[in-house]
Structure 1
């Protein structure tokens, strides 16, 4: 039976190394290489029932941190997404698992260790490096924020990421090819769901999506 994995990473060397390492552990493997979130979402839209796992780099151009994870889970909640990243601090790893990732694989691991981690995730495990601890090690604020962010739609998450980047409603409307009034409606819903009163407060809260900051 063919195992289909989407790798979202913009570094060709990383893509090639993962392909080599995973192909050794999983001989009947179909890998789809993507270099942006839009490419990953397009693949999932075209064949959502055929993808067994997405491996997602936290540091992708244009969509930093956990925003991409939330957008994929919002649109395709049944497709497992595991993080593969150069970041390996315990707080980021715990947040990734709290936010719904099926695993967290540091890029510092050897290829055989990465392949073993992927195999375990495909078998249904939630995998992270040893001695990190799981959701029970998280602050309540992390879990509360995860719940708030999970209530946003994929489009609202995209708009939130643009707010964090300092984009105005008119600019967001042009970028997404939607009416400015539609953007204003989404912004109102985002503020309500996040429990904040302004775009600035929403942006501060959403800094957690980039893996940094401590929001209440």
Structure 2
């Protein structure tokens, strides 16, 4: 396969990464010296065949809690990625349970940041669980881009960009863990003009239930709600 192999030794704070990418050109247009439109060859960064990032610190530590090798690739590039890993002598093995929990945490953060209505939030949760469960039954990984399209058809890249911009450390493909998925659900309730919903994994952390006094204690007030409350003061 042709193309240009880009290799970068990159430092970010105390972390050090080895970044490799297989780049190709595409035909495009540019502006000539006489301000005319002229043909121009450009790097096709929107459809990168393969990119890999090796976290050298994690690799040396031998820690299994975080993957040291992550990929970005176009669809159908799995075999090329596997061959690339073999050349590196690396492994992309992932903890399915941990990765699934991280994905669900990213989803909860996304729902909170978007300040979605209860019904919309429930629909997106159902879409995520249905997709993840289906992939688990097939023995296939979840693809972040496909999941993002299912979670929000109006903004198909919104959830994917949220994950990438927040740096959850998720690989483009994640092995779903059935047990973790089954434990994930949303608690909802409505009474006397009050409506509340939250993900089950937040119980005992961001939300506590005081059974003796029959009350909920919210430790982390959503940003949108906090702004509304301050305006009323």
TM bracket, shorter-chain basis: under 0.3
- Structure with higher Rg: it is 2
- TM-score (norm: length of structure 1): 0.26
| Bigger fraction of residues in strand | 2
Pick 1 or 2: higher relative contact order, CA cutoff 8 A, min separation 6. 1
